[in-house]
Amino acid sequence: MFVPHTHDAADSVDDALEASEHGVRAVKISLFMLLGTTVLQFIVVLMSGSVALLADTIHNFSDAMTAVPLWIAFLLARRPATRRYTYGFGRAEDLAGLFIVVVVALSAVVAAWQSIDRLLNPQPLQNLWWVAAAGLVGFAGNEAVAIYRIRIGRKIGSAALVADGVHARMDGFTSLAVVLGVIGVWAGFPLADPIVGLLIAAAIVILLWGTVRSIGRRLMDGIEPDLVDRARSALASTPGVDAVPALQLRWIGHRLQGNASIQVADMPVSAAEQIAADARHRLGHALPNLDGIAIRTTTGSVHDGGDLARSASSHGHD
């Protein structure tokens, strides 16, 4: 769906807009799903006083709120480039990822604080069946959101959305931990509830590290090696390309941009330009999220036909 066929500027803009629309739809749906899950769990917290369930509810609420900055980021990404922001506003997506990191870290602190307080000041639990049911509801809600976010995130190439989806999936298992706490209380160990709350807080911190690495890599212009290999293979397999001396790619939001240098034999300028155009076309099919690539051809000096083949001619694509 997102593979441009002519790979001109209009195609790239249409692809970026379509991807952003998919991203906005994903964050809206997941936001309302998680908010619904959170409301149900919070009602049970008021009925039971379970601090483990409270920790899980806080975490699910923070996850729901992470959809808001992603929503704003996807909307900003649809704005055209300006004289100041010549690459557009795709980086807003990575900034939203940083906000997600902060919110999730705060949720871990709150969950840990509530659990420690309950360890120091134990209180009896009520309506344990409802607590167990709420834990299962939390698992189901998070898993549904995870499946949807990861699928859309991979489809449009959004690291922030994929990271948020993976985080939601792991949150589902922390919701199951609430059920384990209930089982512990049933077995005559009332401190199982706050201990599970502390375990959930620790799990949040561990999961947070993966999100930090993913978002940090994007901010440092890190790129998946597989994408580089696919791009290099597409360029090298283009008829007329002898070698690919240089290749650079980077993510800007959920779109790819980069520069490449291809080596061709001595030939007229027009022939070198045609090879560059063919290489760009192949590259667009190999990387569906490609938004722009500047291809530089290196050739010999003068061709017998009389045209001067430039030793360094650039062919950009916006």
Task: Render the burial of 2-27: b for 16+ CB within 10 Å, e for the rest.
Answer: bebeebeeebbbebbeebbebbbebb
What value does the mean pLDDT take over residues 143-168?
77
What value does the mean pLDDT take over residues 268-278?
89
What value does the mean pLDDT take over residues 19-25?
68
What value does the mean pLDDT take over residues 88-106?
79
* pLDDT surpasses 50 at 301: no
* pLDDT surpasses 50 at 120: yes
Q: Which CATH number fits domain 225-315: 3.20.20.10, 3.30.70.1350, 3.40.50.300, 3.20.20.140?
A: 3.30.70.1350
**Contact 282/234 with Cβ under 8 angstroms?**
yes
Segments making up each domain of the chain, as ranges: 9-219, 225-315
* pLDDT surpasses 80 at 124: no
Place of tokens 């483990």: 52
Its pTM stands at 0.61
Cα-Cα-Cα-Cα dihedral sign, residues 64, 154, 228, 73: negative
User: Which pLDDT score, from 0 to 100, does residue 12 have?
Assistant: 32
Place of tokens 């938004």: 291
Confidence of residue 67 (pLDDT cuts 50, 70, 90): confident
Confidence of residue 309 (pLDDT cuts 50, 70, 90): very low
Q: Which of these ranges, 48-62, 74-88, 194-208, 299-313, has the smallest mean pLDDT?
A: 299-313
* pLDDT surpasses 50 at 265: yes
Q: First vs last Cα of the chain: how many Å apart?
A: 19
What value does the mean pLDDT take over residues 93-104?
78
Q: For 235-264, what is each residue's pLDDT tens digit?
A: 999 999 999 999 999 888 777 888 999 999
Give the other-Cβ count within 10 Å of 314's Cβ.
Answer: 12
> What are the angstrom distances between the C-alpha of 81 and each of 24, 48, 143, 145?
19, 52, 36, 32
Thinking of the domain 9-219, which architecture would CATH place it in?
A: Up-down Bundle (1.20)
User: Which pLDDT score, from 0 to 100, does residue 310 have?
Assistant: 41
User: Which pLDDT score, from 0 to 100, does residue 19 have?
Assistant: 56
Q: For 28-58, what is each residue's pLDDT tens digit?
A: 787 888 888 888 888 888 877 777 777 778 7
Q: Which residue has the higher pLDDT, 277 or 209?
A: 277
Give the other-Cβ count within 10 Å of 237's Cβ.
Answer: 12
User: Which pLDDT score, from 0 to 100, does residue 202 have?
Assistant: 82
User: Which span out of 12-16, 160-164, 225-229 was modeled with the highest average pLDDT?
Assistant: 225-229
Q: For 1-17, what is each residue's pLDDT tens digit?
A: 233 333 333 333 334 44
* pLDDT surpasses 80 at 296: yes
* pLDDT surpasses 70 at 302: no
User: Which pLDDT score, from 0 to 100, does residue 236 have?
Assistant: 92
User: Which pLDDT score, from 0 to 100, does residue 53 have?
Assistant: 77
User: Which pLDDT score, from 0 to 100, does residue 305 have?
Assistant: 39
* pLDDT surpasses 60 at 295: yes
Q: Which residue has the higher pLDDT, 157 or 14?
A: 157
Q: Which residue has the higher pLDDT, 88 or 306?
A: 88
